[in-house]
Structure 1
Amino acid sequence: MSYANTQVAQIAAISSNRCIGKGNELPWHISADLQHFKKMTTRSDAQSSQTESTVQGIVIMGRKTFESMGSKPLPKRVSFIITSQLDYAEQKGLVGRDNAHVVHNLDDALTQAASLAHGVHLDTIWVIGGERVFNDALMYTDRIELTHVDTEISDGDAFYPELPSDFNVVKESEQMHNDKSDLNFYFVSYQR
């Protein structure tokens, strides 16, 4: 189902009741999951030649997700931020920035991201949240990378959508344990 020959992938960490956020923050801190996210969404230098662009990843997110990351674009990645606020780029000082683009719908984000991906030879665009963006992007998504965190978040306010039945598990990691949060978690790759 690729969008303009570019794979659309989603990445999220979800609790057993599908919670992905609470008070516009992750409901836990698991450094191995954050490292996994960075590794997945950033192409390593070994894969890109020096002549290519310094862009090593493309991420699409909603405004609240962007703000939950301190309203700063992720290092080495270009961020497409979806918001209905027409003056958002001005408000956040993002006008003219190469690493952050404000768009007003998912279609524009996907179209511009696919065009950029083609230009810098990246084969994947990453959708990184939040709830509404994940939901709206599901029909364009080829692959989903989920970190399943073994906990129930009763007071969460953002949830990951149910996976459509045409997604199958293609890879699953061993269960791991995070000592700081005392939580078990594992990584699962789903493919359409």
Structure 2
Amino acid sequence: MSYANTEVAQIAAISSNRCIGKDNELPWHISEDLQHFKSMTTAANDSAIKGIVIMGRKTFESMGSKPLPKRVSFIITSQLDYAEQKGLVGKDNAHVMHNLDEALTQAASLAHGAHLETIWIIGGEKVFKDAMMYTDRIELTHVDTEISGGDAFFPELPSDFVATETSEKKHDEKSGLDFEFVSYRRKG
């Protein structure tokens, strides 16, 4: 599917009931999952830009309204003055966009210039859903727990996605949760 010859990948940690967020926060803290996220979205290249991430406004705010280190953040919001509000005007590591197409187009152009093969969609629920039609690959951390009262969920995977790689089951001592990393690719 790819967007302007750049792979579009989604990355998320989801509970068994597909929950990805509660009260604008991750429903758990699993440091190995956070390390996995960082290593997936940060390329080991010579470019100043190590990764490109696209997210919605609430996801950006859940990360303290700060762009991720070594990565360029594209933040999607309908708020026209959001860049001014958050002090992002003129920043080269954070760009405010007003729709997904605009974010993907700008991100693909930047990825091409920085020799990055992947644009990462990192949330939240609406951005994951809207980007699904452009997505080539999905990296999910399946966390073995049910979250009640969650308010953000990962969409159902379309039937043309197949699991291509699954890690062994892992256990996080601090949270007491079991989890595994699964890679899905669009077939065809």
Does TM, normalized by the shorter one, top 0.5?
yes
2:101 is matched with 107
Equivalent of 1:68 in 49, 62, 73:
62
Q: Please, what TM-score do these two structures have when normalized by structure 1?
A: 0.96
Deviations along 1:86-125, whole A, 9 cap, x unmatched?
Answer: 0000000000000000000000000000000000000000
Aligned amino acid, residue 9 of structure 1: A
Aligned amino acid, residue 109 of structure 1: A
Deviations along 1:146-169, whole A, 9 cap, x unmatched?
Answer: 000000001100000000000000
Q: Size of the alignment, in residue pairs?
A: 186
1 CA distance for matches of 2:35 and 2:10? Answer: 16
Quick check: 1:165 aligned with 2:156? no
1:116 is matched with 110
1 CA distance for matches of 2:65 and 2:166? Answer: 32
2 CA distance for matches of 1:178 and 1:124? Answer: 28
1:19 is matched with 19
2 CA distance for matches of 1:63 and 1:32? Answer: 25
Quick check: 1:149 aligned with 2:143? yes
User: Secondary structure in 2 aligned to 1:33?
Assistant: helix
Q: Cα RMSD between the aligned structures?
A: 0.4
User: Secondary structure in 2 aligned to 1:89?
Assistant: helix
Q: Please, what TM-score do these two structures have when normalized by structure 2?
A: 0.98
Runs of 4+ in 1 over 3 A off after TM superposition: none
2 CA distance for matches of 1:144 and 1:80? Answer: 19
User: Secondary structure in 1 aligned to 2:38?
Assistant: helix
2 CA distance for matches of 1:107 and 1:4? Answer: 12
Q: What percentage of aligned pairs have identical amino acids?
A: 81
Instruction: Give runs of aligned pairs for residues 37-56 of structure 1, distance below 5 A.
Output: 37-44=37-44, 48-49=45-46, 53-56=47-50
2 CA distance for matches of 1:109 and 1:175? Answer: 35
User: Secondary structure in 2 aligned to 1:162?
Assistant: coil
1:77 is matched with 71
Shift, 1:76, TM fit: 0.1
User: Secondary structure in 2 aligned to 1:81?
Assistant: strand
Quick check: 1:131 aligned with 2:121? no
2 CA distance for matches of 1:104 and 1:178? Answer: 38
Quick check: 1:185 aligned with 2:183? no
User: Secondary structure in 1 aligned to 2:87?
Assistant: coil
2:2 is matched with 2
2 CA distance for matches of 1:20 and 1:2? Answer: 24
